[in-house]
Amino acid sequence: MVEREPTEIREHYVLTSADYEKGLKEGKLLGLRCKECKQITCPPMIVCQRCGSKELEKTELSGEGELMTFTVIRIPPEGYEAPYIVCLVKTKEDPWIIGRLDYDTEKMSQKMLGKKVRVKGVYAHVDKYSGGEHVCPVFEISQ
Ligand SMILES: [Zn+2]
């Protein structure tokens, strides 16, 4: 079976999820810059996350940001190994993105909030829930 997106949608994708994941594997955090309001959208969406414009161009983010919140997963979904840290990072360019934080889970506390972080790599894992490979950025503390 060939899955196809409607042409109207495909025309507006300048950065697909597949492109985004490929970028992560190559050490790049890719996003979209709105030609109208200059907002950066990441991970990729079909429209600007601020103004809804479809006039987007591909851009590369610095990979730097701030730890906004996190949770330590001790009982993982089936097929995953625990413990690990899921974090929400506010990138320097503004978008908030989810990833993993490479840090000692026993030493995590609320005192870590606000720490500077940067992308250090990628986590890629095939599970039975995502319909394929699950890929996300891995951050490290940079300050
Ligand atoms: Zn916009």
Domain limits, the chain? 1-61, 62-143
Q: How far is the CA of 4 from the centre of ligand 1 (A)?
A: 27
pTM value > 0.95: no
Instruction: Compute, in angstroms, the gap from residue 115 CA to the centroid of ligand 1.
Output: 28
Helix, coil or strand: residue 110: helix
CATH number of 62-143: 2.40.50.840
- Residue 25 Cα, ligand 1 centroid: separation in angstroms? 27
21: pLDDT confidence band, cut at 50, 70 and 90? very high
Going by pLDDT thresholds of 50, 70 and 90, the confidence category of residue 132 is: confident
Q: Give distance in angstroms: CA of 11 to centre of ligand 1.
A: 18
Give pLDDT tens digits for 31-46: 999 999 999 999 999 9
When pLDDT is cut at 50, 70 and 90, the band that residue 11 belongs to is low
Burial 104-124 (b: 16+ CB within 10 A, else e): eeeebeeebeebebbbbebee
